[in-house]
Amino acid sequence: MFCSVFRQTDARNLLTVKKFAVCLVVLTAAHCLGVPDPVRLKYEPSEPKFLVPVGPYGRDYEEAVRKILDKRWGFGTMIYETVGKFFAVSVWGKDYANYDYDHPLHNFITYLELDGASGDAKATKDVDVPIDIDFAIAVQRAWATMLLKSRYPEKSFLGADGYTAEFSVEVRSVGGVYAYTWSPSGGLTKEIVELGSALADYCKAPGEERPKLRQNLIARLKDFEQKAAKAR
């Protein structure tokens, strides 16, 4: 009787081993027959025509900058990072009248210089420069028009060096919109980086030079908005 039980147990174990071996052979054969790999972008030295969408969380440096900015955000922000140069500009407004939440009474450009690109980044310079509502809305319209056209790239374009610029803006009925670019050499992506840098230069300029810079910047922002709106 005991011998019979042992023989039955050995038979079941042998059957299990055979089933496992068959499964392993099937899986190996399936892989050899060309099971497709997961989708991944092929690297190609090309540039996206538009900004690339990105979430607001998960990047230490950008989150540290947003924490420093706090409520100084809304009409258009650029966070810039490259070796030895870290800064951010943010256009925003506060105080409202007659429930007009689209046109704050007081508007500013905040300019930050940072001590590094880590989650512990600290501001070495933090300046709020007052601007008028027309200037602030010109930035918002340019940023929103460009960011709402953000799309994922078809090819991987990131390199080992260069700079990264993240953009964000608040759009009514959408909320915060976030996108970035890496070292663009031309097109709308480079132009919006240049506009962000021009806003930083405006903050650093002497007060007597700002009226002329403002006029020039508003013209550039409106021109950029029109080009971004037509871009396909």
HSE at residue 200, side-chain half, CA atoms within 13 A, is 19
pLDDT beyond 90 at 67:
yes
Calculate mean pLDDT across residues 178-204: 96
What is the chain's mean pLDDT, rounded?
87
Contact 139, 75 (CB under 8 A): yes
Calculate mean pLDDT across residues 73-96: 97
Structure confidence by residue, pLDDT tens digits, 26-38: 445 445 456 887 8
Band of pLDDT at residue 110, cut at 50, 70 and 90 = very high
Contact 61, 82 (CB under 8 A): no
Calculate mean pLDDT across residues 14-34: 49
Helix (H) or strand (E) holding 60: helix 60-69
pLDDT beyond 60 at 128:
yes
Burial class (CB in 10 A: 0-12, 13-18, 19+), 39: exposed
User: How far from the centroid of its chain's Cα atoms is residue 220's Cα?
Assistant: 23
HSE at residue 85, side-chain half, CA atoms within 13 A, is 9
DSSP 193-231: HHHHHHHHHHHHS-GGGHHHHHHHHHHHHHHHHHHHHH-
How high is the pLDDT of residue 11? 45
Band of pLDDT at residue 156, cut at 50, 70 and 90 = confident
pTM value > 0.85:
no
